[in-house]
């Protein structure tokens, strides 16, 4: 009787450890900030903003004092460029997050994780459950392969 009870208790303890190991978390903000794809997206936006600012500055220098119509056109151009940058930003975010989600799914399957949670939603988690660096490496490798 004792052997059966001990065996049953052992199975329960082992299965609870196994289940806990299948739940991990990833810092998505770190992935956005430090991944190759995230850095490329940020660079695209910065270059776009820089070009827009240069174009606006050149037109501003060419303005004649008191030319109200040209001033209004310049303001309209600034608004248009800002909207273009915001649209591009939204496009990049959607594409990036779809890529992250697809990679999280394949990462979870490859590592046999049951649940992956964003670190911001975790109130407490042991350090060994943080798989951010491991996922970042996985994500960057897949991103580089997809660019070839």
Domain boundaries, the chain: 2-147
Residue 21 has a pLDDT of 53
For 129, other C-beta atoms within 10 Å of its C-beta total: 16
Q: How far apart are CA 110 and CA 22, in angstroms?
A: 12
Tell me the whole-structure pTM to 2 decimals.
0.74
Summary count for the chain: helices (H), strands (E) = 5, 2
The rounded mean pLDDT for the chain is 87
> Which option is the CATH number for 2-147: 3.90.700.10, 3.30.910.20, 3.90.1150.10, 3.40.1010.20?
3.30.910.20
Please state, in angstroms and rounded to a whole number, the distance separating the CA atoms of residues 46 and 32.
15
Contact 25, 130 (CB under 8 A): yes
Q: What is the rounded distance in angstroms from the CA atom of residue 63 to the CA atom of residue 75? A: 12
pLDDT of 8 above 90: no
Residues near 142 by Cβ (< 8 Å), separated by ≥ 6?
Answer: 103, 106
Mean pLDDT of 72-85: 92
**Structure token digits, residue 67:** 């030319």
What's the whole-number mean pLDDT along residues 45-55?
A: 94
The listed range with the strongest mean pLDDT (1-5, 63-67, 93-97, 142-146) is: 93-97
Per-residue pLDDT reduced to its tens digit, 91-132: 999 999 999 999 999 999 999 999 999 999 999 999 999 999
Which pLDDT score, from 0 to 100, does residue 109 have?
A: 96
């Amino acid at each position: 009787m004792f052997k059966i009870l001990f065996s049953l208790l052992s199975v329960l303890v082992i299965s609870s450890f196994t289940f806990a190991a299948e739940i991990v978390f990833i810092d998505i903000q770190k992935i956005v900030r430090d991944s190759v794809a995230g850095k490329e997206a940020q660079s695209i936006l910065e270059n776009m903003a820089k070009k827009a600012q240069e174009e606006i500055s050149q037109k501003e220098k060419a303005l004649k004092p008191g030319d109200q119509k040209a001033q209004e056109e310049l303001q309209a151009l600034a608004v248009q460029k800002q909207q273009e940058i915001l649209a591009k930003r939204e496009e990049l975010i959607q594409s990036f997050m779809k890529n992250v989600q697809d990679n999280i799914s394949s990462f979870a399957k490859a590592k046999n994780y049951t649940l992956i949670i964003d670190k911001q939603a975790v109130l407490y988690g042991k350090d060994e459950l943080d798989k951010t660096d491991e996922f970042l490496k996985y994500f960057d490798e897949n991103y580089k392969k997809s660019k070839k």
